[in-house]
Each structure stands twice: as structure tokens, then as C-alpha cells.
Structure 1
Amino acid sequence: MSAQDSNGRMGRATLMVAVLGVVYGDIGTSPIYTMNILFGRTGLAVDAVNVLGALSLIFWSLVLVVGLKYMSFVLSADNDGDGGVIALATLLRRHSRRHARALALFLGVVASALLVGDGLLTPAISVLSAVQGLELVTSDLAEWVPELTVVVLIALFAIQHRGTAKVGRLFGPVMLVWFLLLAGIGVRWILEVPGVLVALDPRHAFWFMQHNGWIGFLTLGTVFLVVTGSEALYADLGHFGRRPIQLTWFLLVWPALMLNYLGQGALLLSEQGSPGNTFFGLVSGHWLIGLIAIATLATVIASQAIITGLFSLFRQLSDLDYFPQLRVSHTSVTQPGQIYIASVNWLMMLGTLLLVLGFRSADGLANAYGLAIGAVTLITSLLFLAYQRKVKRRGWAAILALGLVFLGVDLAFLTALATKLLSGAQIVVLISGAILVLMLTWRWGQRRLRQCQELAAPLSEFVASAPVQSAVRTHGSAIFLTRTAGHVPLSLLHNFRHNLVLHRETYVLQIEIEDAPRVRLEEKLELERLGSGFFVAVLHLGYMEHPRLEGILDLLSQSAYPPSYEHPSLFLSRVRIALAKAGKGPSLRARLYAFMQRNTPSPAFLLGAPPEQLIEIGVHYKL
């Protein structure tokens, strides 16, 4: 074997370990609570038909949803290497007509709102289920489990500002130990009851449904918990690529999960009666303390991945103009994707803690968990089928075949999950609905502002006008940020009217967020010379990129018309909303948008502009 081949294999192995720490945290901690909920809260009798049937449903759910749908098909739909429902929606948008583009992006936005609701529940149910293992150590700790969970979660959210660059190196090895442990403790019980392996026969799933009727169908809402992390596989595609995610799943994660589920089933078959805690019941004595400790650590890692994923999601939504611009802090000098958003972090912490203290047990949280992500997987299927038809030009026969499998499974799960609406899931619907209202309101307000700005005089007419041609010129360069490069920025207009002077070089800059996650360096900047010292610049960025003043200045300095002065002044418009008082007064939507606009950080902060180079000019708009 050559040294190059050896290094290549070592690199792939290292990458696969890293995948474990980021991609598989959510789905990898599902064994802690799924079987407990199936044979606890749902009230299923612990007998051979139910145990083998439930295991069969779990096995084939992992095969159809994760193995077939995501691993074999959906991961192939990448947007310049990036994955996730937003990436899929924007990819489809580029290849569709106007109304279809709007529908695709709307579905992506709805799915994003649902992911936020799910993101609050995942840390709550994961950490709470792990800490509940302490009840087996001593019953005196049972009533303190929610409070101990709160302490763990507060610590988790409190360290987010430090970023994952350092602790992230530990995530992969810890999760590797976790999956090996899942497999090991499962194998021990399978050897005790080898007959449990017959659960892989799909007939046991049909016999389970036949035996339990409607109740059996409703248990799909709990079985779905084993695949709730499947959307994360797709969302993290851009971080690791398709091949490492697939190899890690088929070689380690899937076998480890199934061995553990089968081990829990073997435990139930060997001790039919009161199920207790089937996961922590797999070990005893001093092993129990160790299992509780590593399970808690694994759920913290899973929660960490969810939290950082939502940071990226909110940033994408901001760049697509569906959410206000947020104060983003970069936590790594080498990985631009590692970011921290304080407002999102603390609001997530508040929501997660309220859920823990409100439901107080993993069984209770299971009533609310799953519905949001079930709807997201259905939206992903719809967008993927449209992608196969519109982009890949698949025939209707192939689309119909895939649709029957994907939509059939998704709709079955979603129907069962919908019954949770009256027992706790309504809280997730309310959270996701509120987020969706905020996003659509912001989008509406930004469009209204853009329409108002487009009423301004064309920039070419302004430059050619007599007052501009005869204006006094001051030394230096200035950059005026605008949303519509073809029109006069109001900050430029107001500054000229009040001061009656212009800079020797004036750059009117528009930042355009493209559908692609990233834009090639040579395509980022378009620069046009208008004459009389005026230039129009359009900066093209992907939705995964972030505009910073120093980067903008670097691009301008390397352009055909670089600024003559080293530190140009940056002029920004600070929006002020005046509500119209026509008829019965401003609408609730206008009031909400005005409130959001008032509490949005200044663009200067988001661009990282030094105070000595910044001039903000207030601009009033009436809605």
C-alpha cells in the first residue's frame, strides 16, 4: 500500500469520526427513550407480538426513511455541495417558473419554521431522557430530574459563545465510543434471547398492526422518534460531503442502533411484565453510572449540533430576507460556518427550559415531539420529487414510483403524529406558526421598503444633474449602501441636500444574496463607472456567506476602479417606520413589522464597520 493511499484512508477515517459528532447526534440518542415510550406511555402490552412488531417497525422505518430515502436519493440533491431543505428549495427555484419558484421557497420557509420548533424540543427530550436514568440509581433523585436537566441545559447554552472549534474535536471520539457501547450492550442481550432477530422479518410489523388495530397505527407517532434526526443528515451535507455520511451510516451507526433496539427488545422478552427503563436496564451495578454519564454527554453533543444548526438556519433566512439581520459572531478563524448568534441562543434556552419544566418528563415531551419534523420530511419529499422532475428530467413512471414510497411512508407517519395535536404537540405548532408569521411579515415589509426605494430618481439622472455636476468635491472616498443600485440611495440624497458637497469618489453598493450557498471569487463583484466620480457596485454573495466591510474593501481594491483613499467612509440608511393612519389605522402586520424594524441591529454592526468610518442617516418610510 502506498503512503498516499494510507494517508487517504486515514483522512477518510478521521472525517467519518467527525461525522459522528455532528451529523448523528440526534438520531444516535433516540434509543435512550423510544422503547421506553413505546412500552410505557403508549401502554403497549409487553408480549412477543408487540415487542417483535415494534422492533420490525423500527427496523423498516430506518431502512425506508434513512437508508433508502435520504442516503440513496435525497443526499444526491445538493446545491453547490450544500444540503438541507432551504438549499433544496433554492435549487428548485432556479429551475422553475415564477409561481413554482414562489411555492418552492415558501415550502422551504415553512419547513424552516417547523425546524425551529423541533429545535427547542430536541435538547429538552434528549437531555431529560438521559438524566432520568438517575431514577434507577436512587428514587430520591426522581423528583429532581427536571431541575438537574435545567442545570445541564443552562451550562450548555452558556458556553455557546465560546464556539465548537475546541470542544468539537472531542465530539467525534465520544460519539464513536457511544455507538460502540450501544452495539456492545445490545449484543449481550441478543445472545441471551437470539430469537429476537426474527423481528427483522417485515411480517411482524403487519401482525403487530393486525393485532392492535387503530392503536397499532397510532404507535407510528412514537416509532417516528427513531428517524427524527434524518433531516440533519441532509442539512450537514455541505460540511462533510455525501460519501462520508453514507459510509458512517451503513458501517457503524445503523448497525449500532439496530443492535441496541434489538437488545432492548430481548430484555423485554426475557422479563415480560413491568418494562421499567429498557435502555438503562441493559446494564446494572457500576456500569449504570457510567452509562448515565456517557448518555448525558451524548445528548449534550446532540443538542449542541441542533443549536449550531439553528444558528446557521437563522443566518440563511436573514440573508434571504425572511428574517431581520442578526448579530453574528464568528467563533473560529478557520471555519467560517462556526458562528454564534446571542439572541437566538438565549431565546432557545428560555424556550427549552420552559418545555422541560412544563412537561417534566421525556414521556410527556414525547407528546409534543415529532410532529414538526414529520411535516419537514414530507416537505423534503415533495421538493425532492419536484427536483427530480424539473432538474433531473426524470420520467413520470420514476416519479410515481418514488412518490408512492416516500409520500406513502411520510403521510402514514404524519397522520399518526397529527393525533398528538390534542396532547402536547399544539405547543410546537404555535411556536412554529409564530416564527412563520414573523418571517412572512418581515418579507412583506422588506418588499414594501424596496418598492418605496425604487420610486427614487434613477442614479444616472442624479449623476447627470446640474447640482451634482457643479457640486463641491471633498477629498476622500465614500460607499453608500443601497437595496436598488439603479436608484439614488436616500442616504446619499439626504447627505447631499444637507451638506451640498460630494466625495471625490462615490461608490453606490448593493449586496445581492444569490440562491447558491457560495459565489466564486471572480463573480462576486460587478463594478460600473458612471462618470463624475460615481461608481455602481453589486456584490454577489451566497446565502451561506456573510458581508463584512473589510472583505468588501478588499474586493474594491482589486477591481478595475479601486478607491484612491485607504479608509473610505461608509454611509448607511437607518430605517424608521411611520405607520399610516388611514381608515381604521395601521394593520397588525404593519405594526409587527415596525416593531421588528425598531429592534433590528444596525447594518453597521452586521458589516463590522469601524465607528470612525461610519455615518448613519435616518430615513423615514410610511406603511
Structure 2
Amino acid sequence: MTTLHADGEFHSRKFLVLLLGSIGVVYGDIGTSPLYAFREALRPFVADGVVREDVVIGLISLMVWTLTIIVTFKYVLFLLRADNDGEGGTLSLLALLMKKSGSYLPVLFFAGVIGAALFIGDAMITPALSVMSALEGLKLVTPAFADYVLPMSAAIMVGLFLVQSKGTAAVSNFFGPVTVVWFLAMAWGGLIHIGDNLTILQALNPLNALWFITHAGAVGLIVLGAVFLTVTGAEALYADLGHFGRRPIQWAWFILVFPALTLNYLGQGALVLTHPEAVENPFYLLYPDWALLPIVILATMATIIASQAVITGAFSLARQAVHLGFLPRLMIKFTSETNTGQIYVPAVNGVLFIGVIVLIFSFGDSESLATAYGISVTGAMVVTTLMAHQFLRQVWGYSTLTATLLLLPLLLVEAVFLAANLLKIHDGGWVPVALAIAIMLVMWTWTRGTKYLKSKIAQSDIPLTDFIAALEKKSKHAPAIVPGTAVFLTSVPDRTPAVLLHNIKHNHVLHERNVILTVWTQDKPYVPEAERIEMQKLSDRFLRIDLTFGFMEEPNVTKALSICRKKGFKFEIMQTSFYLGRRVLVRSPNVGLPAWQERLYIALANFGIDPSDYFKLPANRVVELGEQVAI
């Protein structure tokens, strides 16, 4: 009984830690939307400092029901269940569908890549917008702070990106309690003003949201882009699933996040109905003068945390892209001994940091950047809904008609929001589109170039069985046999590795034991240890080993090979040499890829980390032999 009680207490404590962490990381982004969403949506309807009551009620109703339909129903209740062995996000969903798909694979591939590219664009814009919008509250404390908003925003971003290497757990341990206080402060700010004008409670009736959409006219379509700011961060919620798990994220939404957001938006609406002059900044004006500076400080901390949600989501997405073959190998550092979903990707961290700093100084204020924000978020959501349609059909077995009827209303809502945001292309909306196109071209180029390179190399490959048979024939040119084990890494196991051929050609030696090793990545996050290794004896001197990892796992070859002892392969690390082929890519005019894509592919190949680091090979046991390959 004592042991059971201790286990239950441990699991309860672990759940509470994950619950607190999810509030800090997963909901940090969506929790800062009240800072600017209602203000930006209301701006076009203000005439001479006066705003109509039905407009305020309609807007608040639309915001509350947008949260309900898109975040609660789509993400919290549905998509968090559409996981790939506990992992979420666009590429995780793509990997799951690729296992089930047939003729629609190219369509699914581009849908997944577009969704991933839009999300990374969102990961650059969110930190810049959130932090600037919070620091602009200092202008209400004293106008003297106006000139310091930009440098302070940049300084905060420098600090945030520097601490990423500490890991999600370390960050969330600090961020979680702060975000809880933030949500409670938002709920308090809303509660103390709802009583100012109780007619705002009519916003809880969805008919008022419908009235607004049908009566707002052309300006209403433009305003929908600002309304959608209420759900920014929902994609990060799905992408961060592997960091915390489904149940902590769901509980956090229902017991704290959703109620706090709803109360705050209702309070802002009631304040504007009673004091129309509050349209200038309805969020900060919710609070009494004595609380203004503490709230600005708390809001700044909350917006730093908001940035964390999309940054951790971008790390997860990048790792999935690497293992699925959409990006070159990147350095991935695991920051938790117990949760393999918590990682740090230095290259992605650096790219995001540069993008955020450029956006801060290019746009100059949150109002300008808010116009550029919605396209990446709405675009990613539309893509996710389209992929969810395939998920319902292929994974859960729903008929096409049932899946369509379930998701068509949601798709129409998101399509309307996307159309509203597309109207802002000329006002800065081109920025996330340009970012998404650039990222999509990178992923497409890497996938296409890798496929072309493999097909070209395969043309000159020698079948492995023919090579082994030729070696077994006695010949005066036979290589000398030397003691030890040689491991040759190759991606095409039935062909003779080029590095093996070069070793015999130049060194005229063959080891006593030779392992043809191929590392595979499954389209599921994790592979049980029992399914990790497959061995096949090819001859007295040759053995084929296949190592299989999930796309969320670290491909540690040395550790995996140590398991081979259980299957009879006497693996001694100090008597083993790992042979790697170093390909130097050079351009081949008028052949293969277009010139621009050749240059990009070669640059990406040079950007990737060394295979010995990626596969965790012992540095003092690695032998590299190079060759030039024209593409």
C-alpha cells in the first residue's frame, strides 16, 4: 500500500509540474492576445471618440466564440487526440498520414511543408509583436519611455534566445508560476469592470457574433483579421504536445486559461461601453493607476513567455523535419533526462533570433506589426484543418461525407479569417508570406536534391552481393586482411558503400569483420528497443545491421550497437572503426537541378552537422574518405 501511495503521489506531482509548465509555455502566446486584439479590432469603428454598443457586443461575442470554436473544439478537444504516438504539429500529422496515404502523397507533402513554413514564420513574428505591445504600455506610465521601447524589446529578445539552451523544463519552471499570476491578473481586471455595464454579457450569445459578421459590411472583413489575433498561439499549442502531453494541456485550458481570457475580453468590452475614451488602450485601462506599472511589468514577462511557446514549437518541428528528410541534419540537444520531447536546436534558435530582431527594427511598433501577423497563423490553421480531414478518413475511419460535414463549418470560418488577413498583404502581410515561401523552398530543395543525389549515385553502385562474391574468389589482387571490425554507414544497404570501395582501392585492406550499417527513421516518434536492431549475416566476413529510430529520437548509433551483444554480435568499441564517406558536392551545368536550386542544395549540405556528431560516433574511431559528386 505504501508503494502504491508513493507511486500515485509521484504521478500526481509529475502531472502538476507538467500542468504548470504547459500554462507557462503552451499558453504563453494565446495569453497575451488581450493586450492588442480588441484594441486593433475596435479601431476602425471609432468615430469622434464614440463607438456603438452593438459593435462592442458583437466584437466581444465574435472573440469569445472564435476562442470556443477554434481553440476549444478544434485544438483542445480534437487535434490533441490526433497525435503521432504523443507528438503533435503539422509535420507529425503529415508523418502519420504518410503511413496511410496512397496517390495523394505529393499533395500531403506540400500541405505539410506549407503548414510548417507558415508556423516558423509565426515563430518569428510572435516574439516581436508580443514584447513590443507589452512595453508600449510604459507610454501610459510616462511618455518619456517612448524612445526606449525598441532597444528594450531587442534587449529582452537577446536574453530570451540566450536562455533557450537551458531547456524547456528550466524555462517552464520559472515561466509557469509567472503565467499563472498573469492569467489571474487578467481575470481580475475583467471582473472588476464587467459590472460597469452588464449588457456586455449579451456577448456570450453566439447570435451577436453572427449579427456582427452579417452587418459590419466591408470594414467587418478587414476587422476579422484583428479578431483572429485572439487565437494566435493555437498552432503552438498543438506543436508543443510532445513537450507536456495531452491531459496537462487540456486541463490548463479549461480550469484557468479559457475562463481568464473570457473574463478579460468581457471586462474590456464593458469598460469601453462605459468609458468610450478607453478605446485608446482598453487592456491597460482596466487597471487602477496604482496597479498600472506592476501590470506592465507582468505583461512584459508574459509576452516573453508567449515567445517561448512558438520557439519550443519551432524546435519540435525542426527535429521532425530533419528526421523526415525535409532539412539537412542539424545539431539537436536534449535538455531533459526524463522527457525526450524537450530539446534545443541551436541553428533554429539563431535563425529565429535574427528574424525577430529584423522585424522589431523594420516595423517599429506593435500596431504596424499586427497587420502582418494574421496571415501566417490563419494559413497554418487552414492547412491543419485540411490535413485533419484526411486524418479523420484514413486514421479514424470516418467516411468522406462524415469527415466533410464535421470539418466544413470550421474550414469555412478559418477561410473567412484567412481572406480577411490577405487584405493586409500591402500593409506588411507580405512578410509572413515571403518567410513561408523561403522556408518552403528550402524544404522542397533539400527533399528534391537528396532524391536526385541518391538516384545518381545508385547508377554507379555495385550490388553488395556481387561485390562479396567477387571478394571470395581467390585472386592475387585480393586485399590484405587486418584484425578488427569496420562499420560502413550507408543509406542504400543492398549496394556496396562507396567508402568501402575507396578503402580497398587506396589502402588495399579488408577487416576481419565488416558491418554494412543503415540507420532508418520511422514515421512514428518512438521505436521500442526490441524493434531497434535487425541483423543479417551476408558471409563469413560481412554482416548487415539495420538500426531503426523514431523521428523524435536521438539516432545514437554507438549506444544502439551495444545492444547487439544480446544478439551474438561481439561489438567492442576500441576494436571498431567507423568509415564515413565525405561527399563534396559540385555544380554540373545543364544537368540535374536548376542552377539556383543546385546552389541552395550545396549550401544546405554544407550547413548540416557532421554525420559523426549526428549519429554520436566516437570521434577517435571515425575514418572519413572523400569524393566529389557533381549534381
- TM-score where L is the length of structure 1: 0.95
The amino acid of 2:43's aligned partner reads G
Matched, 1:100 2:104: yes
Distance 2:218 2:184 in 1: 37
Q: 1:199 is matched with which residue: 203, 217, 226?
A: 203
Describe how 1:581-600 pairs up with structure 2 within 5 A: 581-582=589-590, 587-600=595-608
Distance 2:209 2:573 in 1: 73
The amino acid of 2:88's aligned partner reads G
Shift of 1:43: 5.4
Q: 1:212 is matched with which residue: 203, 216, 219?
A: 216
Describe how 1:59-138 pairs up with structure 2 within 5 A: 59-97=64-102, 99-138=103-142
Distance 2:573 2:136 in 1: 63
The amino acid of 1:499's aligned partner reads N
Matched, 1:458 2:466: no
Show CA shifts across 1:101-139 (max 9, x none). Answer: 232232111111111111100111111111111111110
Say if 1:369 and 1:565 are closer, same or farther in 2 by CA, change over 3 A.
closer
The amino acid of 1:478's aligned partner reads A
Distance 1:546 1:461 in 2: 34
Aligned to 2:538: 530
> SS at 1:457's partner residue?
coil
Shift of 1:233: 2.2
Shift of 1:232: 2.0
Shift of 1:183: 0.7
Say if 1:158 and 1:245 are closer, same or farther in 2 by CA, change over 3 A.
closer
Greater displacement, 226-235 / 377-386: 226-235
Aligned to 2:625: 617
Distance 1:202 1:611 in 2: 63
RMSD, aligned α-carbons: 2.2
Distance 1:392 1:440 in 2: 29
Say if 1:415 and 1:370 are closer, same or farther in 2 by CA, change over 3 A.
same
Show CA shifts across 1:562-601 (max 9, x none). Answer: 3255452111111211222348996221222122223332
- Conserved in 2, the CA contact under 8 Å of 1:36 and 1:278? yes
Q: 1:382 is matched with which residue: 376, 379, 386?
A: 386
> SS at 1:558's partner residue?
helix
Q: What is the count of residue pairs matched by the alignment?
A: 622
The amino acid of 2:299's aligned partner reads A
- Conserved in 1, the CA contact under 8 Å of 2:89 and 2:317? no
Aligned to 1:227: 231
Distance 1:64 1:585 in 2: 45
The amino acid of 2:77's aligned partner reads S
Greater displacement, 111-120 / 583-592: 583-592
Show CA shifts across 1:405-452 (max 9, x none). Answer: 121111111111111111101011111111111111111111112113
Distance 1:289 1:273 in 2: 20
The amino acid of 2:344's aligned partner reads Y
Aligned to 2:411: 407
Say if 1:485 and 1:353 are closer, same or farther in 2 by CA, change over 3 A.
same
Matched, 1:357 2:365: no
Say if 1:249 and 1:582 are closer, same or farther in 2 by CA, change over 3 A.
closer
Distance 2:578 2:569 in 1: 17
Describe how 1:58-457 pairs up with structure 2 within 5 A: 58-97=63-102, 99-273=103-277, 275-455=279-459, 456-457=461-462
Greater displacement, 17-26 / 578-587: 578-587
Distance 1:361 1:582 in 2: 47
Aligned to 1:511: 519
- Conserved in 2, the CA contact under 8 Å of 1:476 and 1:564? no
- Conserved in 2, the CA contact under 8 Å of 1:318 and 1:326? yes
Matched, 1:30 2:38: no
Aligned to 1:481: 489
> SS at 1:513's partner residue?
strand
> SS at 2:325's partner residue?
coil
- Conserved in 2, the CA contact under 8 Å of 1:462 and 1:468? no
> SS at 1:166's partner residue?
helix
Greater displacement, 147-156 / 164-173: 164-173
- Conserved in 1, the CA contact under 8 Å of 2:239 and 2:316? no
Say if 1:603 and 1:7 are closer, same or farther in 2 by CA, change over 3 A.
closer
Say if 1:308 and 1:15 are closer, same or farther in 2 by CA, change over 3 A.
closer
Say if 1:411 and 1:468 are closer, same or farther in 2 by CA, change over 3 A.
farther
The amino acid of 2:121's aligned partner reads G
Aligned to 1:21: 24
Distance 2:629 2:486 in 1: 24
Greater displacement, 205-214 / 26-35: 205-214
Aligned to 2:551: 543
Distance 2:295 2:342 in 1: 30
The amino acid of 2:117's aligned partner reads A
Aligned to 2:59: 54
Distance 2:61 2:397 in 1: 35
> SS at 1:615's partner residue?
strand
Shift of 1:167: 3.3
Distance 2:270 2:594 in 1: 64
> SS at 2:100's partner residue?
coil
Greater displacement, 496-505 / 573-582: 573-582
Greater displacement, 582-591 / 542-551: 582-591
Shift of 1:241: 3.0
Distance 1:562 1:621 in 2: 35
Structure 1 unaligned spans of 5+: none
- TM-score where L is the length of structure 2: 0.94
Show CA shifts across 1:526-550 (max 9, x none). Answer: 1111113211111111111121243
Say if 1:595 and 1:482 are closer, same or farther in 2 by CA, change over 3 A.
same
- Conserved in 2, the CA contact under 8 Å of 1:179 and 1:253? yes
- Conserved in 2, the CA contact under 8 Å of 1:572 and 1:615? yes
The amino acid of 2:219's aligned partner reads I
- Conserved in 2, the CA contact under 8 Å of 1:453 and 1:487? no
Shift of 1:328: 2.1
- Conserved in 1, the CA contact under 8 Å of 2:193 and 2:271? yes
Say if 1:295 and 1:41 are closer, same or farther in 2 by CA, change over 3 A.
farther
The amino acid of 2:33's aligned partner reads S
- Conserved in 2, the CA contact under 8 Å of 1:574 and 1:602? no
Shift of 1:256: 0.5
Shift of 1:396: 3.8
Greater displacement, 460-469 / 274-283: 460-469
Distance 2:371 2:435 in 1: 15
Distance 2:498 2:251 in 1: 54
Greater displacement, 129-138 / 87-96: 87-96
- Conserved in 2, the CA contact under 8 Å of 1:94 and 1:101? no
Percent identity, please.
Answer: 37
Say if 1:562 and 1:102 are closer, same or farther in 2 by CA, change over 3 A.
farther
Matched, 1:601 2:609: yes
Shift of 1:47: 2.4
Say if 1:93 and 1:193 are closer, same or farther in 2 by CA, change over 3 A.
same
- Conserved in 2, the CA contact under 8 Å of 1:42 and 1:219? no
> SS at 2:213's partner residue?
helix
Shift of 1:399: 1.8
